Homo-oligomer: A and B are copies of this chain.
């Protein structure tokens, strides 16, 4: 039964659920909202769910630290899919409410910096109070506790609200990236437009700079898409790094870069290779000379011939 169950960061009616429903297979899964990222992932670790769907990166707030920290620790998990969702808020009100009626507004704390300018311009007097989630804010408006909530427009129906203003976002291009996480298994075959995620911990006893670590990728022409430092818990200044690199673990250049990391770092956790969301073949960084699989294979064949005295 768990094979058909996906957990996600709840509650219902949030952007996370909306993003999850863009996956074709979501239609045939039992989608279970959880109270936290940790709870959603622990259900996978414990075998009660086949996968969990959680936010991992936000164009306004950066990496979602709860998700990064959960993936970096505990029983290993792997990322199988990612989804990019543009984030635009709707201002939801009880039917009949007008803009001039609004004295109090609510929403998730991370929503606030994304609508701050809009509020200053259109509701300069309104008082903001945070809710546990955007959906929870909508519920509190339904219950009459606040006059308006910032949430996804899709939340209106569920809570009997109506959309007073739509498409609110201070920053252009605001979007959130979500990942579908499962227990470790063989990654899907390369699509040609892939991404690989790892977490690396540096050596304490023979440091090697971060720059040397990134050189493992640069030397093989592997492009980095995300570098997020996260504290290891060992005190100020002790960090591990969540890294997204362009390409698939089956690419020979990526494999060599990962082996280089493995040799030079205290620990490397492989978090998966999976298709890049919102990217097509023309978005792939052109290969550096000598870095194709064919180049690696030719060099490997040449080395074997040298070792055999046939070069």
A interface list, Cβ under 8 A from B: 57-63, 65, 76, 78, 84, 171-177, 184-187, 203, 206, 208-212, 214-215, 217-219, 223-231, 233-239, 249-250, 255-256, 258-260, 262-264, 268-270, 289-291, 295-296, 298-300, 302-303, 306-311
Shortest Cβ distance from residue A248 to the other chain B in the assembled complex, whole angstroms: 10
Contact of B303 with A263 in the complex, beta carbons under 8 Å: no
A217 contacts which chain B residues (CB < 8 A)? Answer: 211
Q: Which residues of B contact A173 (CB under 8 A)?
A: 233-236
- Find chain B residues with CB under 8 A from A300 CB: 259
Please name 6 pairs of A and B residues whose Cβ atoms are closer than 8 Å in the assembled complex, sorted by A: A60-B231, A186-B308, A209-B224, A211-B217, A263-B290, A263-B298
Q: Are A302 and B259 in contact (CB under 8 A)?
A: yes
Taking CB atoms, residues of chain B closer than 8 Å to A206 are 289
Given contacts A259-B296, A259-B302, A262-B302, 8 further A-B contacts (CB under 8 A): A62-B231, A63-B229, A184-B310, A186-B307, A203-B289, A214-B214, A260-B299, A270-B306
State in angstroms the CA–CA spacing of A264 and B209 once bound together: 19
**What residues of B have a CB within 8 angstroms of the CB of A219 in the complex?**
215, 219, 260
B306 near A258: Cβ-Cβ < 8 Å: yes
> A59–B295 Cα gap in the complex (Å)?
32
A26 to chain B, nearest CB (A): 21
Cα distance A193–B303 when bound, in Å?
A: 20
Copies in the complex: 4
CA distance A289 to B302 in the complex (A): 27
Minimum CB–CB distance from A117 to chain B (whole Å) comes to 11
Contact (Cβ within 8 A) A299 B262: yes
A78 CA to B184 CA in the complex, in Å? 46
Please tell me if the beta carbons of A57 and B299 are within 8 angstroms of each other in the complex.
Answer: no
Q: Give complex CA distance A306, B78 in Å.
A: 10
The CA-CA distance from A230 to B113 in the complex, in Å, is 14
Query: Which among B175, B239, B309 is the interface contact of A185 at CB below 8 angstroms?
Result: B309
What residues of chain B lie closer than 8 Å to A214, measured between beta carbons? 209-211, 214
- What is the minimal beta-carbon distance from A285 to any residue of chain B, in angstroms? 9
| Complex CA distance for A171 and B235, rounded to whole angstroms | 8
Interface centre among A177, A234, A303, by most chain B C-beta atoms within 10 angstroms, is A303
Q: Is the CB of B259 within 8 A of A299?
A: yes
Of all chain B residues, the one with the shortest Cβ separation from A216 is B219
Q: Give chain B nearest CB distance to A264 CB in angstroms.
A: 5
The 8 Å CB contact of A236, one of B177, B258, B298, is B177
**By the criterion CB–CB under 8 Å, are A236 and B296 in contact?**
no
